[in-house]
Chains A and B, each alone.
Chain A
Amino acid sequence: MIGPYASSRRRRFTRLDIALLTLLALAVAWFILRLYSGEAYRWNWRVIGRYMVRYDAAAGRWRANVLLNGLLTTIRLSLWSGILATLIGLVMGVVATRKRLIARLITRSYVEFARNTPPLVLVFLFYYFLGDQIIAVLGLEQAIMSLGPVQRQILTVIGAPPRQFPAFLSAVVTLALFEGAYLTEIVRAGIESVSRGQWEAAYALGLSPLDRYRFVILPQAWRVVLPATVGQFISIIKDSAIVAVISIPELTFQGLEVMAATYRTFEIWITIALLYFVLSSSCSWIAHALERRMAINR
């Protein structure tokens, strides 16, 4: 009976339950009534199946269609930008804990800029800059086009088909740049969680600055950093939906495309929401398992 936290242990069926159930039933009933009143929506779930996989008559086998490909692109996109963002976070996070003012000026401006601007605006900004400028300057397009067939195949599996690769790459970098700001803060917090005594001990042992980080500080910061990093990876999966606005063929973009082609609005958005849900919640399930394992090994 004491405090609200007792409620997790003690559950009861109260008057509130009856009220909530009634309300829920009414809402569902009203929703269904609206759905089937007037021009009733005709469900057609088979469209979804068709856009998930298609039968390739020429090759005589099933192939992933746009929706499934979109899901795979979302996963590849999240993975690569997650890795890149972790690298950014690691470097910037270490720099952020340095005493020099210039170190803090650089990291603070980066973090504050990336965290206080809408991701959508950053996507537009970086996309024009990266897509049109840097990639053109680097001559990436020509480089990719001159690749052999095996290399192209590898590129397609780990990233995107050659033609889409420059756009894919700028989406990866864009996502990594702003997720990197959050990872910078995670790494910084991890390093700051290591007590002063550890620094002093490492210093007293005469370890070089790099060795201090490598053998003393980072292994301890790791415990704080790892769970938060996994959590940030899950955020990346969700945030990656934003690059749909720059026509990267990931899951959300493909949803818009299929909607435009078929008008099966309800089926599509229910499916896409479910796909994200499964992807994200299975990742957080893994993260929880990981966290528990780390807690045990402590």
Chain B
Amino acid sequence: MSISSHHDAIITVSGISKTFPNGVRALDDVSVSIARQEVLVVIGPSGSGKSTFLRCLNGLETVDRGTIVVDGIPLDHDRSNRLEIRKEVGMVFQQFNLFPHMTVGENIDLAQRRVRGTSAADARTVSLELLAKVGLEERVDSYPARLSGGQQQRVAIARALALRPKVMLFDEATSALDPEMIGEVLDVMRALAAEGMTMVVVTHEMGFAREVGDRAVFIDEGRFVELASAQRLFDAPREDRTRAFLSKVL
């Protein structure tokens, strides 16, 4: 297993392990460092620990052992560090998790106003900008329930971008979508990657992973089985388990 250490790493993960209270070992001594502007795709069978890994990166899960440093800030029990990191890291969920009682615009305004203390008018300007970026400017006053799944997920991306994060985490962002809507979401993600956003993407879309990913990692049973450039991992996997997995999904 090769861990390429970049000089300009924005996320450094060293030896993290996590066991759930029910005894399931979700992560087992995982280390990686992610460079600025890099896109790291994470693949693996369900229950392999992909989502847990991602959720550790912004502190939604706490680790039992090991350290995570994001943009120079250690992710530890210190509350203010945790909040600081969450401003730097945006997250997109499989189930969108839009706030159903708020309009699209209010969803995106919220963090700007509460976390950054931006004025209502300024927040809305930014929100409209972000909505334009995902092609949903005219839906600013709609409630999420009125949008299709694909539209909701694009709004969720816009919302995650509201604090101008340095890193974006995608947790199976297209898994809950009907097939005809997957494309529109992947397009937005592709555009983000092209802009140079640092991204960690857990996905089942292998074609997209190979195309957009700089590096790819295959996780199985909580361990990094193989970490390589995306092209190499998909075209010439070295580990048997990676090969077996890819032959099943490709």
Contact = CB atoms under 8 A, between A and B. Distances in A.
A1 B21 contact: no
Contacts of B62: 1
B21 A9 contact: yes
Interface in A1-18: 1-2, 9
Interface residues of B, number: 5
B60 interface: yes
A2 B60 contact: yes
Task: Label chain A's interface by main secondary structure.
Answer: loop
Contacts of A1: 59-60, 62
Interface in B33-91: 59-62
Main secondary structure of the interface of B (DSSP, over half): loop
Interface in A68-105: none
Contacts of B59: 1
A2 B60 CA distance: 6
A9 B59 CA distance: 17
Nearest to A2: B60
Nearest to B55: A2
Nearest to B79: A1
A166 B60 CA distance: 65
Contacts of B21: 9
Contacts of A2: 60-61
A10 to B, nearest CB: 10
Contacts of B61: 2
Interface string A1-37: 1100000010000000000000000000000000000
B161 to A, nearest CB: 22
A23 to B, nearest CB: 24
Nearest to B60: A2
Nearest to B82: A1
A5 to B, nearest CB: 13
Interface in A164-223: none
A240 B146 CA distance: 51
Interface string B17-35: 0000100000000000000
Contacts of B60: 1-2
Interface of B: 21, 59-62
Interface of A: 1-2, 9
Closest 5 CB pairs of A and B: A2-B60, A1-B62, A9-B21, A1-B59, A2-B61
